[in-house]
Amino acid sequence: MKQSINIIISGGGTGGHIYPAIAIANEVKLRYPDANILFVGAKDKMEMEKVPQAGYDIKGLWISGIQRKLTFSNLIFPFKLLSSIVKAYSIISKFKPDVAVGTGGFASGPTLYVSNLKGIPTLLQEQNSYPGITNKLLAKKAKSICVAYDNLERFFPVNKIIKTGNPVRQDLLFLHSKTEEAKTFFSLNNKKKTLLVLGGSLGARRINQLIEEHLELFKKQNIQLIWQCGKLYFEDYKKYNELEDVQIFPFIQRMDLAYASSDFIISRAGASSVSELCIVGKPTIFIPSPNVAEDHQTKNAKSIVDKHAALMVKESELESFSIVFESLLKDKGKQENLSENISELALPNATNNIVNEIEKLIK
């Protein structure tokens, strides 16, 4: 196979689409140091900042999603789409990719649509148990579709599906060797259990309110708290840093150490988070966000809960949280079962397997 290859990667809008895209690019670079990799994202979205930080070039398209109500943005959507297709055509004609990879999000629509038109092989990476509209539309023409969950043949042609899992941070693979370092890093008390709370990088208002309401309960149960409240909410909650056994952060840089130090985890159920938590293997309570397309976080969480590998409390049922949490705390057997079962769902070689599929498409 030729050593200098051109690969276009498109996806974004959220960290869940950007992080896998960057992980795939890094693995391609590891195998083919001379590879040319170009990202295509949506202007004004976080990929325009995150991708250059990771060391890659990115071009922006004037594209956004369709709102569920009549808005000005919806009225100009056809113009945005047309403009994005024209721009994608120009980018692809100049760059001449050997393969185009889509990880979901608005920008991957026009980019992969044009790639298919020009006969360039395309690969989709679907992170969720319920695919977004962009990947559903692109599936018919894609050569390969890499997925993280079972039962996606309802949405995609069965002969194109490869179950690879979602790319995850490699520093999560050997957490058990980091427990001591992690406890020192967060200055934790070895005699107390640690609860890690994650609401996504921006934060989750309802989870923050829930934790605030239960600070007394955690204190009574001798639990220490590592709480990522999100940068949108840090000003409101930082006062709790004054409490003993509570550490609150807008964002946790050393997620590997946060995971390694924890005994229990409360988390949203975005695709990347779920994949990471399978590798982490700790007893987890999912509180899915109800404010996402097709309610896909609930579906992600349910696919784990149905295998007796995690617990779930819906936002509409948070009054039951203390019962669920305390019964988990008291039941050592249940903790061990959840840990064992969620670990069995881990797919740690996802990035590797996705890039193996990309290699097959490069002529």
> What's the CATH number of domain 6-166+349-361, 3.40.50.11780, 1.10.10.1100, 3.40.190.10, 3.40.50.2000?
3.40.50.2000
What pLDDT is stored for residue 65 in this prediction?
A: 67
Is 253 assigned to a binding site?
A: no
Is 252 assigned to a binding site?
A: yes
| Conformation bin of residue 238: beta by default, left when phi > 0, alpha when psi is -120 to 50 | alpha
> Taking 60 as the threshold, does the pLDDT of residue 3 lie above it?
no
Q: What is the mean pLDDT of the chain?
A: 93
What pLDDT is stored for residue 75 in this prediction?
A: 78
Taking residues 20-29, report their average pLDDT. Answer: 95
Among 192, 186, 189, which residue's Cα sits nearest to residue 226?
186
Within a 13 Å sphere around the CA of 51, how many CA atoms are in the beta-carbon half? 30
> pLDDT band for position 124 (50/70/90)?
very high
Taking residues 245-255, report their average pLDDT. Answer: 94
Is 184 assigned to a binding site?
A: no
What pLDDT is stored for residue 66 in this prediction?
A: 65
Is 41 assigned to a binding site?
A: no
A 10 A CB-CB count for 187 gives 8
CB within 8 Å of 8: residues ≥ 6 apart: 37, 38, 39, 40, 91, 92, 95, 97, 99, 100, 101, 111, 115
The answer to whether 233 touches 264, Cβ cutoff 8 Å, is no
Measured CA to CA, the distance from residue 140 to residue 117 in angstroms comes to: 12
pLDDT higher for 94 or 44? 94
Taking residues 121-145, report their average pLDDT. Answer: 94
Instruction: Report residue 135 as tokens.
Output: 């990947």
Is 228 assigned to a binding site?
A: no
Measured CA to CA, the distance from residue 38 to residue 53 in angstroms comes to: 14
> Taking 60 as the threshold, does the pLDDT of residue 2 lie above it?
no
Q: Could you give the C-alpha distances from 59 to 32, 66, 91, 116, 203, in angstroms and in order?
A: 22, 21, 8, 19, 28
pLDDT higher for 133 or 157? 157
Among 136, 128, 148, which residue's Cα sits nearest to residue 112?
136
**CA torsion through residues 83, 21, 48, 92, sign:** negative
Among 17, 2, 183, which residue's Cα sits nearest to residue 101?
17
Long-range contact set of residues 135-143: C-beta below 8 Å, sequence gap at least 24: 135/102, 135/104, 135/108, 137/109, 138/102, 138/108, 138/109, 138/112, 138/113, 141/112, 141/116, 142/102, 142/112, 142/116, 143/361
Is 14 assigned to a binding site?
A: yes
Q: Each residue of 49-90: pLDDT tens digit? A: 999 999 999 999 988 766 666 777 677 878 888 999 999 999
Is 119 assigned to a binding site?
A: no
Q: Each residue of 185-203: pLDDT tens digit? A: 999 999 999 999 998 767 8
Global pTM reads: 0.88
Among 67, 56, 118, which residue's Cα sits nearest to residue 88?
118
State the fold for domain 171-344.
Rossmann fold (3.40.50)
Equal CATH topology for 6-166+349-361 and 171-344: yes
What pLDDT is stored for residue 292 in this prediction?
A: 84
Is 353 assigned to a binding site?
A: no
The answer to whether 204 touches 289, Cβ cutoff 8 Å, is yes
What pLDDT is stored for residue 79 in this prediction?
A: 87
The answer to whether 329 touches 266, Cβ cutoff 8 Å, is no
| Residue-range domain boundaries for the chain | 6-166+349-361, 171-344
> Taking 70 as the threshold, does the pLDDT of residue 276 lie above it?
yes
Taking residues 17-40, report their average pLDDT. Answer: 94
Taking residues 157-178, report their average pLDDT. Answer: 93
List the single range of 35-39, 291-295, 313-317 with lowest mean pLDDT.
291-295
What pLDDT is stored for residue 44 in this prediction?
A: 84
The answer to whether 227 touches 199, Cβ cutoff 8 Å, is no
SS3 144: strand
Q: Cα torsion at 180, 182, 183, 184 (round to 10°)?
A: 90
pLDDT higher for 179 or 106? 179
Instruction: Report residue 260 as tokens.
Output: 């390694």
Convert 281-309 to b/e letters by CB count within 10 Å (16 or more is b): bbbbbbbbbeebeeebbbbbbbbbbeeeb
